[in-house]
Amino acid sequence: MDMTFNSTSNAQTSLVQPTIQITHPVDYEDYGTFAVSAHTEIGSRKTQEDRLIIVPKMNPEKYDISFFGVFDGTVGDFSSDTIQKIIIKHLTESPQWEKLINALENGGDIVTCAYDAMFRMYKSADEELLGLCARFSHDYASSTSVTVLMVNQYIVVGHLV
């Protein structure tokens, strides 16, 4: 992922490769256990503020974990573009993510751990976004989102308005 500013994190997110950042329609991609397609319409707007992300295999060697996100920016694309770039690191670098991985390895409560990881992801990504908005004087920038975390046979959906 290409970042245009420094993140507040020092950790690496190499376990989430490959990540597909959508800037154009995806007609159909088959990942074996599921298929994905994505499309956005600019309509009558001057710029496209929608951003999407697909991470079909977050850790293909060990676990069946996938992540999908749709981010709809308002008052420009700063927020949606930023969230698209930082959301995965906020998911995978949290203590809640470690608990989820531990639950997968040792038979813990996967559903609660996945929910907690998503909740923490939104909270910490929002904190970083607010700091970046202040730093770059994007006072009115915001984004709504819908995200899906698939872990084995479980699906956790987050919707931020």
In this structure, what DSSP letter does residue 109 have? -
The phi, psi pair for 127, rounded to 5°, reads -60, -45
| CATH number of residue 149's parent domain | 3.60.40.10
* Structural domain contains residue 55: yes
Distance CA 68, CA 73 (A): 16
Distance CA 3, CA 42 (A): 24
* Structural domain contains residue 149: yes
Domain housing 91 = 14-160
- Provide the pLDDT for residue 116: 98
- Provide the pLDDT for residue 25: 57
**Secondary element (H or E) of residue 70:** strand 65-74
- Provide the pLDDT for residue 5: 31
Instruction: Give CA separation, 112 vs 81, 100, 156, in Å.
Output: 29, 8, 10
C-alpha of 82 from chain center? 10
* Structural domain contains residue 111: yes
* Structural domain contains residue 1: no
Distance CA 5, CA 138 (A): 14
* Structural domain contains residue 9: no
Q: How many beta carbons lie within 10 A of that of residue 59, not counting itself?
A: 14
pLDDT (tens, 9 = 90+) of the chain, 161 residues, equals 333 333 333 333 333 333 445 555 566 777 777 888 888 888 888 888 889 999 988 887 889 999 999 999 888 889 999 999 999 999 999 999 999 999 999 999 999 999 999 999 999 999 999 999 999 999 888 999 999 999 998 999 999 88
* Structural domain contains residue 54: yes
Name the domain count of the chain.
1
Amino acid present at 59:
N
* Structural domain contains residue 155: yes
In this structure, what DSSP letter does residue 61 have? T
- Provide the pLDDT for residue 141: 87
